[in-house]
Chains A and B, each alone.
Chain A
């Protein structure tokens, strides 16, 4: 097991004068599921974007499997094994569910014919077979989240970044979605980093956790430790209760 499977070193992201991430140094171990916690605006999505390459850091470095990927484009990071989903889902709405999954397969060099067949594997995995030929724009939010999982999965990721897994998903659909995520780890041994507000969900999903506030890591440890931490309870759970 790789202890520093993903590592950020003094990672800083500033947008104009606003510092969204400040000197974040963290390590994520291979094969584990790590939660990133924090109140709104703490910098969780910015951290995700910096790891996935969608945002250029203003300082610091990102290492993946020991290699410095700070300057790599998102597509190169994808090819090296990092995949992500989005806080606000980003389906290719003009394409069918199957075609959505074919996009990464074709980008990976597969022929269209192969990609069309291969897509079924991932669509089945997330349980969208009944919707395979429908345009993505007709899917519900929960289905879109699953579609993003299928797309991400088809890139054969080693590291999967999940942004707000249950955000906007109706309650009855949540268990099915979590089940899919658990299977990712169990059946495919994918290292997962997840941003999630729902502590209940996280306790059943994550091993480790980092707590971010105002762009800095304040608390880290196992998910149970972090969830119980006094500061976390004060800042975050208060915040979450207020939000709920």
Chain B
């Protein structure tokens, strides 16, 4: 598990937390704080996706559907029933988890990775179409607005406000989410769960022959992964306060997030975080280049994939690995 987590994962997370902590107090302009908030939300999204994609090794390409499910579920319930977003965000995560487990069932029976990819991709497309067509409830592509921001929290005389335009509060919320989710996942994945997920990834048949109950563990992984992604979707919804099916469950979301995970490092715990930071921050930093922005952005991704095929998180001294033996053997049945 060393290559997944590194030597001192808790220390790394602590360093990240310490870097984030002062940001709301630095009086930075809202633009920067907004970009950092997006980075944190997408980092949680990417980390959640990485559980099935990188740790379990399934080529699941439909996690933007769980993001949309978490976002819409939380937004709809809080809007129509007046429930506080502080509660509905968990509901969003829960509903996403249930959806994850449901889509997990057909995937259990599929051995071929291209088919897993197609099934999950199709699932996401179905979810997008459903949200687009439930016009009476979601207003379809016209956009669902009227999503309440998180209720303010009062500390002494000052109230911390959230939602668009309340940059510091929104950032603080996203940072707490980011650190909290990663801490919980570290506790979970450094133990039995992570060990079993990685065993399934590396040699599914061997793991099963050694007493690992594949079906249960895979469904569990889908549930956890979808819950994390759904939670990030809920926070996104109450932050931006507008949702359209295409913007949350469309192909662009899929591509951006996959790029973050791949550039950061598939199957490395901290990889998606570095990927999310790099891509969110550079796509904004490159604005100074005007029309060349997306060209440079694309070139950057290609360069990173070449110089760091294992992702940013994989850029570390190699652990005495012999290149000739680095390839994974496959079972011949």
| A71 on interface, CB distance cutoff 8 Å | no
Contact of A55 among B195, B267, B333 (CB under 8 A): B333
Please provide the chain A residues from 112 to 159 with a CB less than 8 Å away from any CB of chain B in the complex: 112, 134-135, 137-139, 148, 151-152, 155
CB of B210 within 8 A of CB of A107, answer yes
| Contact A107-B213, Cβ < 8 Å, known A92-B203, A96-B2 | yes
**Cβ of A96: which chain B residues have Cβ within 8 Å of it?**
1-2
**Cβ of B199: which chain A residues have Cβ within 8 Å of it?**
92, 95, 100, 103
| A229 on interface, CB distance cutoff 8 Å | no
Complex: how many Å from CA A91 to CA B319?
A: 17
B 196-214 binary contact with A (CB < 8 Å = 1; else 0): 1011011101111111111
CB of B211 within 8 A of CB of A75, answer yes
Which residue on chain A has the smallest CB distance to residue B322? A138
Which residue on chain A has the smallest CB distance to residue B204? A90
Which residue on chain A has the smallest CB distance to residue B192? A106
> Which of B244-252, B285-293, B324-332 interfaces with chain A?
B324-332
| Contact A90-B201, Cβ < 8 Å, known A96-B2, A104-B211, A107-B212 | no
**Cβ of B211: which chain A residues have Cβ within 8 Å of it?**
75, 78-79, 104, 107-108, 155
> Which of A31-39, A81-89, A205-213 interfaces with chain B?
A81-89
Which residue on chain A has the smallest CB distance to residue B214? A75
On chain B, the number of residues with a Cβ less than 8 Å from chain A's Cβ atoms is: 36
**Cβ of A75: which chain B residues have Cβ within 8 Å of it?**
208-214
**Cβ of A83: which chain B residues have Cβ within 8 Å of it?**
209-210
**Cβ of B213: which chain A residues have Cβ within 8 Å of it?**
73, 75, 107
| Contact A90-B192, Cβ < 8 Å, known A55-B333, A96-B2 | no
CB of B210 within 8 A of CB of A151, answer yes
**Cβ of A73: which chain B residues have Cβ within 8 Å of it?**
208, 213-214
Complex: how many Å from CA A84 to CA B206?
A: 8
| B191 on interface, CB distance cutoff 8 Å | yes
**Cβ of B326: which chain A residues have Cβ within 8 Å of it?**
137
CB of B331 within 8 A of CB of A86, answer yes
Contact of B330 among A88, A91, A102 (CB under 8 A): A88
CB of B192 within 8 A of CB of A78, answer no
Please provide the chain B residues from 295 to 333 with a CB less than 8 Å away from any CB of chain A in the complex: 319-322, 325-326, 328-333
Please provide the chain A residues from 141 to 191 with a CB less than 8 Å away from any CB of chain B in the complex: 148, 151-152, 155
CB distance from A76 to the nearest CB of B (A): 8
Q: Pick from B203, B214, B322 the residue with the most CB of A within 10 Å.
A: B203
On chain A, the number of residues with a Cβ less than 8 Å from chain B's Cβ atoms is: 43
| Contact A107-B331, Cβ < 8 Å, known A96-B2, A151-B210 | no
Q: Pick from B2, B202, B213, B214 the residue with the most CB of A within 10 Å.
A: B202
| B30 on interface, CB distance cutoff 8 Å | no
Complex: how many Å from CA A87 to CA B209?
A: 14
| Contact A92-B198, Cβ < 8 Å, known A74-B209, A104-B211, A135-B319 | yes
CB of A94 within 8 A of CB of B202, answer yes
Complex: how many Å from CA A146 to CA B1?
A: 20
**Cβ of B284: which chain A residues have Cβ within 8 Å of it?**
none
CB of A54 within 8 A of CB of B202, answer no
CB of B333 within 8 A of CB of A103, answer no
CB distance from A199 to the nearest CB of B (A): 23
CB of B207 within 8 A of CB of A137, answer no
Complex: how many Å from CA A148 to CA B209?
A: 11
CB of A103 within 8 A of CB of B207, answer yes
Contact of A137 among B192, B210, B321 (CB under 8 A): B321
Please provide the chain B residues from 220 to 241 with a CB less than 8 Å away from any CB of chain A in the complex: none
**Cβ of B1: which chain A residues have Cβ within 8 Å of it?**
94-96, 99
CB of A137 within 8 A of CB of B209, answer no
CB distance from A114 to the nearest CB of B (A): 11
Which 4 A/B pairs are nearest by Cβ-Cβ distance? A90-B203, A104-B210, A90-B206, A78-B211
Given A49-B333, A93-B202, A96-B2: 13 more A-B contacts, CB < 8 Å: A78-B209, A78-B211, A89-B329, A92-B198, A92-B202, A95-B198, A106-B196, A107-B196, A107-B212, A112-B192, A134-B320, A135-B2, A155-B211
Which residues from chain A sit less than 8 Å from chain B, CB to CB?
A: 45, 49, 52-55, 73-75, 77-79, 83-84, 86-96, 99-100, 102-104, 106-108, 112, 134-135, 137-139, 148, 151-152, 155
- Show 25 residue pairs from A and B whose CB-CB distance is below 8 angstroms, ordered by the A residue: A45-B333, A53-B209, A73-B214, A74-B209, A75-B209, A78-B210, A83-B210, A86-B331, A87-B332, A90-B206, A92-B207, A93-B202, A94-B3, A94-B198, A95-B1, A95-B202, A99-B1, A102-B195, A103-B195, A104-B212, A106-B195, A112-B195, A134-B320, A137-B326, A155-B210
